[in-house]
Chains A and B, each alone.
Chain A
């Protein structure tokens, strides 16, 4: 089924905050017509520890906020007017240096199925730190009671491999009760991303998309490590899935002909050039898509991967 741009989506708003001296300032976003919230956002800045982005910066870890009322969320009033009820802030660290904070905002209602999760290393196993699941309540409950060992499941696989992984058909064929719950919630495609943190903890961030209310209809994983592409600021498309084009991988082994992105060229190239997350609603996107989010992943002092998702 090919979704239209007007179909309901799990994530309503995505925005980028970058450090400027002592504060985080607005550096772009896709507000999908929620103009009031957009206007209040561009005028805002956050000190370290202030508001949701500031908290993610201060604590050096992803932060999930499922209720705005009475919380530290500074734009609660504008968010309420826009129908936004929950948010996740994902700090992008290169070692101890904060590069940016990506914030995604969602609406909780009976329709929206999906999962945005933060898994944390707790002495040899990954446990759920927090997550936003929309209406996928059974999946949320099971996830809260699931742990993953090294190499097991999407979070454990990402944790062990140290690279982003895109998985299909999450609802069947796994030795986890969580897989059955995912299947019942229609959650099929998941992308897991290792999130470096200046704290002692290891985090894995997952986006799990349902067909009815997708987080994205196209996912891409780009490998930018020097050990893969050499010294140039480039990246290879190592995996991807698209509702329009189908598989985005070549099927050859070794894959010498994988699509290559270069710094400053195209949306992924912006991430390679700036080293920062990038949000685009403009030209240059693949046919059939109106928006994209690209998240850089740092490892060992270099921009290692770029994960991009499109709607």
Chain B
């Protein structure tokens, strides 16, 4: 009988032994070492043990009786210290054991991030029964708090489990969304929302700086200075193969022990299996390929032929009530297309990634009923061209051209009790009854049944019911949606972002039922603006959702060069500024143009020179003129009462104050102001978005003028007596416009839609004006920054001209 020594009693080696004993009982005299003081258990079920939803006894897969029954000599709790391939012996802590064949299955160890304080008592990985026991013990203290570092599968399972045990739990994740290796941003958003409902705090983009404590863990400190109390820190930042034993024995290794497709190492009598191996450059962490390896290895040991091949993997988070599934490859790429389905009312998100009529990947949240079917399509490489239109609806809607192959037929097939409007609980039967009773438009159905009257995401579905019921008599239409990604109008989206407190793009895509994964070049800039305008503190501006000029902080010209325009407050400048501008113009070979906005434009600057010219102008005390933004451009002024014989007020001074208050703020479209010192109106204030005309009694504030494609005189908003009032009213108007206008509507278009009467009514309320000013201040605390000055170091300036840009997400010109 051959002597088989196995090092490590994990899931892979356990499965090897099962196969061996099934196929050839008695073929091997087996000795099994395990550093843990126990045999094999189902390691992937440690999370439910931690949560209390499984007991430790339940997850034991091979008990003492099993090993005895198969004659396995067990050396549990004994660490192997060396392998001598020449003598074919394994040295354990209690002595040597000879082998004919050796299997190394030493698994992997949790990666402990080498932060300061990582070695304090109370910092643990999450890998084995000991770790689980330690966490359970830590949880058994009333008021105990835990920080989990790593928002991957295992970290989140640990977080949910510790929360169930009664701890206050915070998850720190360095990426932008949870489980970023398995999920896309939309699914990550839903997961974060789900965890928040369980009382788990999640901090993404968290830069953990150190772990502090006096003799034991007391807190975790982030890079921004945030301190989080913690009596337990769980490190869940991935695993590293335990390959040291094999490497020390001289086996070929890369990041782990190298094996061939028969699981053979560089030594013909030594095999390796599980997380400690590297196969064709791949490492392993999920159990499915480990079981494949185990099957192959058992056959190899028995002299049979088999070969390990890589295969597609799927995974599911083991947090009760979180239904998510991910399989295959769902990264973006050229030639790949997405099919997306969202049901905001039920928290469902499904995304399929297709390339060349094959399903490559699938992400599902909230509805995993068809996960197995989709996984089969991925594994088998099935041609899905015939069912592409209805693929996202799953196998129930595939039928070879039957009624279910038509998406409209899917609506027709819904029973009368099927809910169409989740917000108001309106079922299909109610809508059909209303239609048959005479409601033959979306608006009348909405009025009679309340369907689509709240969030509006079921509008398309209601229209489909109308189409199915009325046939050709129904004409869809009405308000124009933002783009093809949604049925909602800009106005709907703005209202819902506020009402439902949507504070991220992922939240908008999901909660408003976007039909694409993350919007398109039309909707992304608008949504980015709405979010930053409504949630300046919570939302982070997304440069990828901006027009290219806004990303480059400069206007591209017809020859591919750029224009650079420093701000000149109220049209005033100084000899020093002019000298600096002149020097810059000469240095970068720029043409010089005085603009209609009372500034100087430097034209013809090469893209690679932009950071350098910005620095030169910054050094002379100037900031960007934002001549490229949907934001404040200029405040044009006349010389006013300081110099002009007709001037009634200090128009220049007021213009400077307004510009210094308003610069940097993002608005739905560009905004231009002017202040004229008298009704002769030298600053042409009566055709600006906000134009102030000074008179002896004070200031006449006009709004909603235009002097571009359309020409329009301003309309009088109010007359005020003081400069402070003029600034307060102007700012309130701009903020009202920021909060309510459709993206790319200039103020004159917006005012035409809402009516000047409404604007006056709002702004006439002093409390409302103060509130608008206060909200503007909050926004400015984030956004009133000079983008030129953002490039601080020489290195940043050098690397700026070739930024890594994700072109698939580039906003349109």
Chain A positions near chain B (C-beta within 8 angstroms):
149-153, 156-157, 160-163, 165-170, 172-177, 179, 225-231, 239, 241, 246-247, 249, 251-256, 300-301
* B368 lies within 8 A of A149 (CB): no
- Which 8 interchain pairs have the tightest Cβ spacing? A161-B321, A151-B198, A175-B166, A173-B136, A227-B367, A254-B316, A150-B199, A160-B198
Do A165 and B419 touch (CB < 8 A)? no
Stretch from B140-148, B218-226, B797-805 that touches the partner: B140-148
Residues from chain B with Cβ under 8 Å of A241 in the complex: 58
Q: Is the CB of B166 within 8 A of A230?
A: no
Interface residues of B in 37-67 (CB under 8 A from A): 42, 44-45, 51-55, 58-59, 61
Provide the bound-state CA to CA distance between A257 and B297, in Å: 24
B157-165, B475-483, B594-602, B686-694: which one contacts chain A? Answer: B157-165
One of B273-281, B369-377, B463-471, B644-652 contacting the partner? B369-377
Would you give 16 A-B contacts (Cβ < 8 Å), ordered by A? A151-B164, A151-B197, A152-B163, A152-B164, A160-B197, A168-B52, A172-B136, A173-B52, A175-B165, A226-B369, A228-B323, A230-B369, A251-B59, A253-B315, A253-B316, A253-B318
Complex CA gap A179/B143 in Å reads 14
CA–CA, A168 to B56, complex, Å?
10
Q: A150-B199, A153-B164, A300-B346 are in contact. Are A169 and B372 (CB under 8 A)?
A: no
- Specify which chain B residues have a CB less than 8 angstroms from the CB of A252 in the assembled complex: 287
A230 touches B371 (CB 8 A): no
Chain B residues whose C-beta falls within 8 Å of the C-beta of A176 in the assembled complex:
142, 166
> Told that A161-B198, A227-B368 touch, could you supply 20 new A-B pairs with CB distance under 8 A?
A150-B197, A151-B163, A151-B197, A151-B198, A152-B164, A160-B198, A160-B199, A161-B319, A163-B320, A170-B52, A173-B140, A174-B140, A176-B142, A227-B346, A229-B369, A230-B394, A241-B58, A251-B42, A253-B316, A301-B419
Given A229-B369, A246-B58; A166-B53 close (CB under 8 Å): yes
Would A168 and B53 count as touching, CB distance under 8 A? yes
When the two chains form their complex, are residues A152 and B44 in contact, meaning their CB atoms are under 8 A apart?
A: no
Given contact pairs A175-B144, A227-B368, A228-B369, A149 touches B199 in the complex (Cβ within 8 A): yes
**B198 and A153 within 8 A (CB):** no
B interface residues with partner A (beta carbon < 8 Å): 42, 44-45, 51-55, 58-59, 61, 136-137, 139-144, 160, 163-167, 197-200, 287, 314-316, 318-323, 325, 346, 348, 366-372, 394-396, 417, 419
Knowing A157-B164, A173-B136, A227-B348 are in contact, say whether A168-B55 is a contact too (CB < 8 A).
yes
Residue of B nearest to A179 (CB): B140
**A253-B288 Cα distance, complex, nearest whole Å:** 9
Contact A163 B321, beta carbon cutoff 8 Å? yes
Contact pick for B139, options A174, A225, A249, CB 8 Å: A174
Q: Which residues of chain A come closer than 8 Å to B59, judged between CB atoms?
A: 247, 251
Which chain A positions have C-beta within 8 A of B315?
Answer: 253-254
Q: What is the minimal beta-carbon distance from A197 to any residue of chain B, in angstroms?
A: 16
Residues in chain A near residue B163, CB distance under 8 A:
151-152, 157
Among A156, A172, A247, point to the contact of B54 (Cβ < 8 A): A247
Which chain B residue has the least Cβ–Cβ distance from A229? B369
Say whether B166 contacts A153, CB under 8 Å: yes
Q: Which of A227, A230, A246 contacts B396 (CB 8 A)?
A: A230
Expressed in whole angstroms, the Cα–Cα distance for A156 and B140 within the complex equals 17
Give the chain B neighbours of A300 by CB distance below 8 A.
346
Beta-carbon contact of A175 and B53 below 8 Å: no
Q: A175-B142, A177-B142 are in contact. Are A253 and B166 (CB under 8 A)?
A: no
For residue B316, which residues in chain A have a CB less than 8 angstroms away from its CB?
253-255
- Which of B42, B166, B198, B322 is the most central at the interface, judged by chain A CB atoms within 10 Å of its CB? B166
**A150, A161, A227, A255: residue with the most chain B Cβ atoms closer than 10 Å:** A227
State A301–B415 Cα separation when bound (angstroms). 13
Contact A173/B144 with A153-B166, A160-B321, A300-B346 known, Cβ cut-off 8 Å: no
Q: Which residues of B contact A225 (CB under 8 A)?
A: 369
Q: Residue of A at shortest CB range from B365? A: A227
B368: A residues at CB distance < 8 A: 227-228, 254
Nearest CB of A to B762, in Å: 35
Q: Which residues of chain B are within 8 angstroms of A167 by Cβ–Cβ distance? A: 51-53
Q: Give the complex CA separation of A229 and B59 in angstroms.
A: 26
The residue in chain B whose Cβ has the minimal distance to the Cβ of A221 is B320
Residues of A within 8 A of B51 (CB): 157, 167
Please name all residues of chain A whose beta carbon is closer than 8 Å to the beta carbon of B370 when the two chains form the complex: 230
For B55, the chain A residues whose CB sits under 8 A away are 168-169
Q: How far is the CB of A195 from chain B (nearest CB, A)?
A: 16
